[in-house]
Amino acid sequence: MVKSQGIAVSVRLDSDALRALKILESTGMTRSEAIRASLLEAALKKRHHDQIRLEVAAVAADEDDRREMLEIAQFMSTLHE
């Protein structure tokens, strides 16, 4: 397996991002490690969020699922009476 050569990226950090970077660096991470880890984590969260959004849209489009959710909600409301 050939490891890809990294590319250099220049970024201007605002004060919040700079504080976050300093926190990560204080754990022993290098600046590059902290930025790479943060990018990977952000991308993973975005992918996860997108997947949830697609699943919600699929459930909302499924008439049987919507009917079942309504029945469950109605049943649950009777338990509080």
Residue type for 79, please?
L
- Tokens matching residue 60: 């909302």
Q: Which domain holds residue 51?
A: 15-79
Residue 31, CB-side half-sphere exposure with 13 Å CA sphere:
8
In this prediction the pTM is 0.64
Which pLDDT tens digit goes with each residue over 9-38? 899 999 999 999 999 999 999 999 999 999
Q: Give the count of domains, the chain.
A: 1
Tell me if 50 is assigned to some domain: yes
For residues 24 and 38, the answer to whether their CB atoms sit within 8 Å is yes
Task: Tell me the average pLDDT across 46-57.
Answer: 95
* Token digits of residue 50: 């997108």
Is residue 4 a part of any domain in this protein?
A: no
Residue 43 lies in a domain: yes
**Residue 68 falls within a domain, yes or no?**
yes
Is the residue at 6 inside a domain? no
